[in-house]
Amino acid sequence: MAEKFLSGDEAFAEGIRLACPEVISAYPITPQTIVVERLSEMVEDGSLDAEFIHVESEHSALSCAMGASATGVRAFTATSSQGLLYMAECLYYASGGRFPIVMMNANRSTALPWNIYGDQRDSLSQLDSGWIQAYAENAQEALDFALMSYYIAEHKTVSTPFMVNLDGFILTHTYEQVDVPTPEQAKAFLPPYETENRLDLDNPKNMAFSAGPDTNYIFKYKEHAGMLRSVPVITEAEKKFAEIFGRQYTGLIDTYLTEDADYILITLGTIAGLSREIADQLRSQGIKAGVLRIRYMRPFPTEEIANAVKNAKAIAVLEKDISFGNEGAVFTNVNSALKSQGVTAPTYNFIGGLGGRNISHTNIIDIFEKIRKGTERVNFIGIEVNQS
């Protein structure tokens, strides 16, 4: 291993180099660009033996990756925001075709109004696209997801594409000390991709076909079941990862002081770090605060979240998303999970960070304050209830 000072994008590119994809097809979009710039440099200097295909759109980026994956080779792409939405048709196609492509998404606001900064409305709008969705908190975790994502996606029982999300700018462009594994370690961790779900001259196949009302639901059920089977594979991957790299991850969620917490903030991505600091601060004042970071939005950690918050007095869900006319998508998912597990503590939604707006120290203190007293079901940070 080697310590390097890397941005989130660069760390992810390092992870992809270690995963050795054979085909990379990508189209540039801020704040994803650094990933594809680094990967193209790695292909140029020979340190990554891959085809780098300069496609003319995000739709083609994923369509091309599907073509490559359909021949049984490891494929990678990366995008963000408008690009993710532009390739949305292909997202559903890739998961329906059971092509275990890995994609990095730099979480960014969606137009209109135009905005290049980070929120999570892009990826959260695609929760139903059949992709495993993971959210990294720091550059190290981003690199590690790059390796683990292929292990999980390509597992024979899973065969499901994998989207790794990095908060735009806050993670993609922030430099941290990162432990970069050696190629030998990576090779010991990640087996080569082998599949029968491929075009094969010796055994020709017709792929990506139509299925009418008689059979369509069976394919959809199998897709759902494949995604659910990723749960034990995530555990397996993390165990093997810890053995080789010495870093143990915690599955679908990551908890901080939740065991005895009265007030728990549930969130995802980089804001979890500041949230933990606030929890510490509140604890020093005698308020039992805790933080739960969702690492995987799909498959959704229904039981894990319910278990972790079951004794809380009140729960906040802080997210960089709003489903207009309703509430944040994370809040909807969390509430459904809690209801199904019989958790009845009140829950409150906090919408923040839209278009890259800073979520401050004070904002998080305020969230804990509000849920202790009771507040509106859906709260927009920075906007009072009677404003519009």
Please give the residue ranges that form the binding site for another protein (CB under 8 A).
22-23, 25, 51, 53-57, 59-61, 63-73, 75, 89-90, 93, 199-201, 204-212, 215
Nearer to another protein, 162 or 296 (CB): 162
Query: How far are the Cα atoms of 148, 294, 314, 336 from residue 251, in angstroms, in the given order?
Result: 11, 9, 24, 20
Give every CB contact of residue 45 below 8 A, 6+ residues apart in sequence.
Answer: none
Residue 111 beta carbon to another protein: minimum distance, rounded to whole angstroms:
20
Contact 82, 210 (CB under 8 A): no
Give me the amino acid identity at 98: R
Nearer to another protein, 215 or 362 (CB): 215
Residue 89 beta carbon to another protein: minimum distance, rounded to whole angstroms:
6
Give every CB contact of residue 354 below 8 A, 6+ residues apart in sequence.
Answer: 109, 119, 121, 320, 322
Residue 198 beta carbon to another protein: minimum distance, rounded to whole angstroms:
8
Nearer to another protein, 58 or 304 (CB): 58
Q: Which two tokens stand for residue 361?
A: 């120290």
How far, in Å, CA of 188 to CA of 245, rounded? Answer: 10
Residue 53 beta carbon to another protein: minimum distance, rounded to whole angstroms:
6
Nearer to another protein, 88 or 365 (CB): 88
Helix (H) or strand (E) run with residue 278 in it: helix 271-284
The CA dihedral of 58, 59, 61, 62, to the nearest 10 degrees, is 120
Nearer to another protein, 182 or 216 (CB): 216
Residue 76 beta carbon to another protein: minimum distance, rounded to whole angstroms:
12
Grouping H, G, I as helix, E, B as strand and the rest as coil, residue 253 is strand
Nearer to another protein, 209 or 324 (CB): 209
How far, in Å, CA of 184 to CA of 106, rounded? Answer: 28
Residue 216 beta carbon to another protein: minimum distance, rounded to whole angstroms:
9
| DSSP codes joined into one string, 144-199 | HHHHHHHHHHHSTTT---EEEEEETTTTTT-EEEEEEPPHHHHHHHSPPP--SSS-
Query: How far are the Cα atoms of 61, 110, 254, 263, 362 from residue 86, in angstroms, in the given order?
Result: 10, 11, 32, 39, 36
Residue 258 beta carbon to another protein: minimum distance, rounded to whole angstroms:
43
Residue 90 beta carbon to another protein: minimum distance, rounded to whole angstroms:
6
Question: β-strands 2-7, 175-180: how paired?
Answer: antiparallel
Nearer to another protein, 207 or 242 (CB): 207
Nearer to another protein, 22 or 262 (CB): 22
Beta bridge partners, 53, equal: 25
Nearer to another protein, 111 or 207 (CB): 207
Residue 105 beta carbon to another protein: minimum distance, rounded to whole angstroms:
19
Phi, psi (5° rounding) for residue 316? Answer: -110, 140
